[in-house]
Amino acid sequence: MNDETLLASAWRVRDHAYAPYSEFAVGAALLADDGRIFSGCNVENLSYGLTICAERVALASAIAAGARNFTAIAVVADTNVPISPCGACRQVMAEFHVPRVILANRSERLHFSLAELLPRATTGILDRAE
């Protein structure tokens, strides 16, 4: 499985984005360690805060299908510079240890580790001192 295939899935699912308020369509494709790809688009709501980003839709769909281990996620939008995942999505990626994040627009690709995007994501949490 190469990045090309993952990115193609992300672009494909982006066509399904429900984004009547922002008119900003995002696609995400998540690669599980068994080779399955789970994709998601953003799903907006009149109550703006209920909007779900493409990344979390992909992650939720993967978890519901029984996948737990992931190797990469690709996120795409038709932007001037590659899109940047929101903080909430970074936190959810951290929950499931998505190690590699590919961010792309039509002409450029950026590669990050999740640690770069969200340093110290889980350090110390629930680790109570004796």
If one asks whether residue 82 binds ligand THU (CB under 6 A), the answer comes out as: no
If one asks whether residue 83 binds ligand THU (CB under 6 A), the answer comes out as: yes
Per annotation, catalytic residue among 55, 95, 108, 130: 55
Spatial distance between the Cα atoms of 35 and 4, rounded to a whole number of angstroms: 14
**Alpha carbon distances (Å) from 83 to 65, 67, 111, 126, 130:** 27, 25, 12, 32, 42
If one asks whether residue 93 binds ligand THU (CB under 6 A), the answer comes out as: no
Nearer of residues 20 and 124 to ligand THU, judged by Cβ: 20
Q: Which residue has the tokens 């936190």?
A: 91
If one asks whether residue 74 binds ligand THU (CB under 6 A), the answer comes out as: no
Q: Which two tokens stand for residue 69?
A: 């281990």
> Which residues contact ligand THU by CB under 6 A?
19, 22, 24, 26, 42, 44, 51, 53-55, 75, 83, 85-86, 89
